[in-house]
Amino acid sequence: MRRILIAVPTLFILFLLQSYLWVPSYEEQGENPERLNEFIEGSIGDAQILNPVLSADSASSGIESKVFEGLIDRDEDLRFRGRLATHWEIFEEAYFYVNDEAWIPKVGKKDAQGVVKLLRDAIKARIRENAPLFRSLGKIQRVEALPARSFEFSKKDKNAEGKKIAVTIRVAAPPRIRLILKEVDQELFDHLSGLLGREYFSSFDGARFIDILPETFSSKRSAYARELLPATENNPVIVFHLRPNVRFHDGHVFDAEDVRFTYQAIMNPKNLSPRIADYEPVKAVEVLDPLTVRVVYKRLYSPALGTWGMGILPVHLLNSKALRQEAMHRGLDPDKFTLRQSEFNRRPLGCGPFLFREWKADQYIVLERFEDYWEGSPNYKRYTFRIVPDLLTQEMEFYAGTVDGYGVQPHQVERLSKDPAYQSFSGLSFGYTYIGYNMRREPFKDRRVRKALGMAIDVDKIIKYVLYEQGEKITGPFVKQTDFYNHAIEPLPYDPEGALRLLADAGWKKGPKGWLQKNGKRLQFTLITNQGNNLRKAILSIAQNSWKHIGIDVRTDVLEWAVFIQERVNKLDFDALILGWSMGIDPDLYQIWHSSQTGPNQLNFVAFRNEEADDLITKIRQEYDHERQVQYCRRLHEIIAQEQPYSFLYVGKWTAILDKRIVIKEVDPEGKPRYSRIQPTKTGNYTFYFNKWIKLPEVPRFEMEG
């Protein structure tokens, strides 16, 4: 038996290894070809729902990334690359209504055809003395006039008494101009004002073109006009060209209808998808032919392309007819049955590199390689996701070789990274750990209380003694390695006395027994987190002790992961919690921080609401200029740091440890295998080439020589 490098009683180790005799031991792996063909990953918690449209936890996402495929992803240099899409074009359609009351400089009033001629002449003349206008005119490929049109729009709206009633809006829209641009131009209408006049767009009064029934809603005429007759529209367009001959795991051919269905599944309110915010800016998803999809956006939306990394669902298995049949087969009401209730979520089927085989709740999930995967089948025959809630057990199994990878803890890093049997990878994480406060409840409605709670916690102590220096302080919601993070924001000081002064300002004074109280009520709440994460449990204890030290009565609770997420977080039933976010490169924070995302099953579960923050979040989504986007992000960072809806704690340094026998295997044109070391990408993604990983019986020659 290989020597164990940590001080654990021998009987415990023997018991542990005997408990998992179904998996070969470390030495036996070299003699068992089948074990070499299986990658086993240990996890503290089970997946929740294996459907990329519905899931919101990292365990589920990890499985989904192997079962499902998106239209695109990012390559090792962070550039977008095609997956189910081979290539795409991005351009813009822009519209504006003809303002028959506006006076155009030097030429006077113009009807639709007159405006078209003016624009075409300007494009030909290439007005160089106005550089911004010159740039925008150079992007316009086509100009045309669209005729006037009439239509009706019905909606339910609240009357003066607050009762919702039906409202009919009759619109007699004037002609408008359609522009086709070869690329997105977010400043188009600002620049066209140099030709049509400063007030041409802003003075357009859509209210005069609508009638409202009942007339009691006439006071909302301007609001309805802004909704139905906006003076200008920027409509970015992405046309995806799909990869031919791609098949789902059941052999069904993937096509454009699957893409459109996935979008519709996200936007169907009955499905309660946490992804709605990413796709709400979409105006339409159109199938042009089986291998071409046209996506039109309602407005400028800079993260648009990246959202199509979403795993694509099979329409033939999940369309309304299929769901009705499933409901009836299971004896459920087909009219109330939704995608969220489908058994597909426990037996997923995609067109990714691995196909689903088995899920035994709280024990394991087994995937097998998909032999017909379009890019070539993975080297590993199987991928097994094992739930091992105890971190010490995970470490023991890793040493024994019964798991190949797990969430290695900070205190294990130095020891494991020096062991010659292993290869290690590390870097600063894309994410952070925090304490979040439910701002619907007292005392967290008061910013002074939230700030005081943060000041009472010694984050340096957490980093030193809990993380073993494998982390850094963080002050806000953006990835620390990006330009969007505001490094000018100082972390909250560790200042218990200052925290007490803030609490006193908020009306909380110490009573006769030393507890802080206000109006005879003690400052008391419960802090919760999930089982299986010793770091969070340690933070739980530190926070509780720190707050009790200044007179706050804090109870704690550690919950099983599914209960924690489904019953407490998703249902907004908590006072304060310890959690973490894994972040992406894009700075879009709409789902986590916008005030519209505070409902059940949404991600702004702390109920942060701030008008300026909402405005900035929207601007960040619509901004295509990197420098301006950075400015908006840094101001948003500043607001959130001031408001302290979270006590931002730290960003950890991720570390991964693998057996050195796990390498990248490729085959040259002559069929000869070629091995290379695993290298992380720029983002620290060491699993980027997972489909090419394989475990060899011995360390390959390049390792022995190096």
Q: Where along the chain do its domains lie?
A: 10-77+347-425+657-705, 90-236, 431-654
Mean of the pLDDT values across residues 491-512? 95
Least confident of 159-163, 207-211, 542-546, 636-640: 159-163
Q: Please tell me the predicted confidence (pLDDT) of residue 36.
A: 92
Domain 10-77+347-425+657-705 shares a fold with domain 431-654: no
3-state secondary structure 485-541: CCCCCCCCCCCHHHHHHHHHHCCCEECCCCCEEECCEECEEEEEEECCCHHHHHHHH
The phi, psi pair for 144, rounded to 5°, reads -150, 155
Across 392-402, b (16+ Cβ under 10 Å) vs e yields ebbbbbbbbbb
Read off the tokens for 465. Answer: 């003694």
Q: Please tell me the predicted confidence (pLDDT) of residue 344.
A: 98
Read off the tokens for 256. Answer: 């454009």
**Sign (positive/negative) of CA torsion 461, 462, 466, 470?**
negative
Q: H or E element: which one contains 16?
A: helix 10-18
Residue 203 has, within 13 A of its CA and on its CB side, a CA count of: 13
- Residues 6 or more apart whose CB falls under 8 angstroms from that of 335 comprise none
Q: Each residue of 167-179: pLDDT tens digit?
A: 999 999 999 999 9
Q: Please tell me the predicted confidence (pLDDT) of residue 705.
A: 46
Q: Please tell me the predicted confidence (pLDDT) of residue 32.
A: 64
Opening angle at CA 240, ends 239 and 241, nearest 5: 120
Read off the tokens for 225. Answer: 């006009």
Q: Each residue of 391-448: pLDDT tens digit?
A: 889 989 998 889 999 888 767 777 777 788 899 888 888 889 999 999 999 999 999 9
Q: Each residue of 78-97: pLDDT tens digit?
A: 789 999 999 999 999 999 99
Burial of residue 40 (CB within 10 Å: 0-12, 13-18, 19+) is: buried
The phi, psi pair for 127, rounded to 5°, reads -70, 95
Cα–Cα distance, 382 to 377 (Å, whole number): 11
Helix 611-622 to helix 626-643 angle (10° resolution) is 160
Cα–Cα distance, 272 to 219 (Å, whole number): 34
Beta-strand runs (E) in 374-514:
382-387, 422-428, 431-437, 471-473, 509-510
Cis amide leading into 680 (omega within 30):
no
Residue of 26 and 647 predicted with greater confidence: 647
Q: Please tell me the predicted confidence (pLDDT) of residue 660.
A: 92
Q: Which of 141, 142, 139, 116 is nearest to 195 (CA)?
A: 116
What are the helix (H) ranges across 75-163? 112-125, 131-139
Read off the tokens for 362. Answer: 């709280």
Q: Each residue of 534-554: pLDDT tens digit?
A: 899 999 999 999 999 999 999
Q: Each residue of 624-678: pLDDT tens digit?
A: 888 999 999 999 999 999 999 999 999 988 888 899 999 999 998 888 999 999 9
CA distances in angstroms from 187 to 135, 183, 192, listed in the order given: 10, 12, 9
Cα–Cα distance, 456 to 498 (Å, whole number): 8
CB neighbourhood size of 620 (10 A): 24
- Residues 6 or more apart whose CB falls under 8 angstroms from that of 253 comprise 245, 246, 247
Q: Please tell me the predicted confidence (pLDDT) of residue 703.
A: 54
Q: Each residue of 316-371: pLDDT tens digit?
A: 999 999 999 999 999 999 999 999 999 999 999 999 999 999 999 999 999 999 99
Q: Please tell me the predicted confidence (pLDDT) of residue 14.
A: 36
591 and 604 Cβ atoms separated by less than 8 Å? yes
For residue 415, what is the DSSP state?
A: H
Q: Which of 130-134, 346-350, 685-689 has the highest mean pLDDT?
A: 346-350
Mean of the pLDDT values across residues 278-298? 97
**Sign (positive/negative) of CA torsion 378, 380, 381, 384?**
negative
Q: Each residue of 563-590: pLDDT tens digit?
A: 999 899 999 999 999 999 988 788 999 9
3-state secondary structure 247-304: ECCCCCECCHHHHHHHHHHHHCHHHCCCCHHHHCCEEEEEEEECCEEEEEECCCCCCC
473 and 491 Cβ atoms separated by less than 8 Å? yes
Average pLDDT over all residues of the chain? 90
- Residues 6 or more apart whose CB falls under 8 angstroms from that of 242 comprise 71, 84, 85, 86, 254, 255, 256, 259, 290, 291, 292, 293
| Class at the top of the CATH hierarchy for domain 431-654 | alpha beta
Cα–Cα distance, 451 to 641 (Å, whole number): 9
467 and 413 Cβ atoms separated by less than 8 Å? no
What are the helix (H) ranges across 282-388? 315-318, 320-329
Residue with tokens 């002064």: 501
Residue 306 clears pLDDT 80, i.e. is over it: yes
Q: Please tell me the predicted confidence (pLDDT) of residue 22.
A: 41
Q: H or E element: which one contains 91?
A: strand 85-97
Q: What is the CATH number of domain 10-77+347-425+657-705?
A: 3.40.190.10
Read off the tokens for 241. Answer: 């060209």
Residue with tokens 């179904």: 22
**Sign (positive/negative) of CA torsion 522, 523, 529, 531?**
negative
- Residues 6 or more apart whose CB falls under 8 angstroms from that of 526 comprise 554, 555, 556, 557, 574, 575, 576
How does residue 5 score in pLDDT terms, banded at 50, 70 and 90?
very low
Q: Which of 689, 150, 54 is nearest to 379 (CA)?
A: 689
Residue 13 clears pLDDT 70, i.e. is over it: no
